Amino acid sequence: MSERKRESAALALVPRVAKFLLRVGRDRRVPWAVKAALVGLGLYLASPIDIIPDWIPVAGYLDDVIVVGFVVSYVLARVPREVVREHWGEDVEVLERLGRRRRGS
């Protein structure tokens, strides 16, 4: 897969991951610690203070991507699998591939 296709595939996941995190955060079956992590993520992303300032080209958003990755990994590890599948949608294969990469398989 070319680099450009890989980038657009990753960008296409952004709104999907955002919807997934919102749905998981509203679910009553999700532990409060996960909900607290999601609130913390929202506050971090909304904050004008970043580890790497956003005005630095390319690297400026790197800290945001890393923090989102950690939180998504935490959510996938702590939320029951059936809840994750329910909120992700029909094509769970994408989520399972992300999970395998996360675990290093």
**Helix 3-26 and helix 81-88: axis angle, to 10°?**
120
Query: What global pTM score does this model have?
Result: 0.78
Q: φ and ψ at 56, to 5 degrees?
A: -80, 120
Phi and psi at 50, nearest 5°, equal: -125, 160
Type of residue numbered 19: K
Candidate from 40-44, 76-80, 93-97, 99-103 with smallest mean pLDDT: 99-103
pLDDT tens, residue by residue, 24-72: 999 999 999 999 999 999 999 998 888 888 888 878 888 888 898 899 8
Q: Where are the domains of the chain?
A: 3-103
Distance CA 55, CA 91 (A): 36
**Residues 5-19: pLDDT tens digits?**
766 777 788 898 899
- Tokens 């994750």 sit on residue: 84
- C-alpha torsion sign, points 75, 79, 85, 88: negative
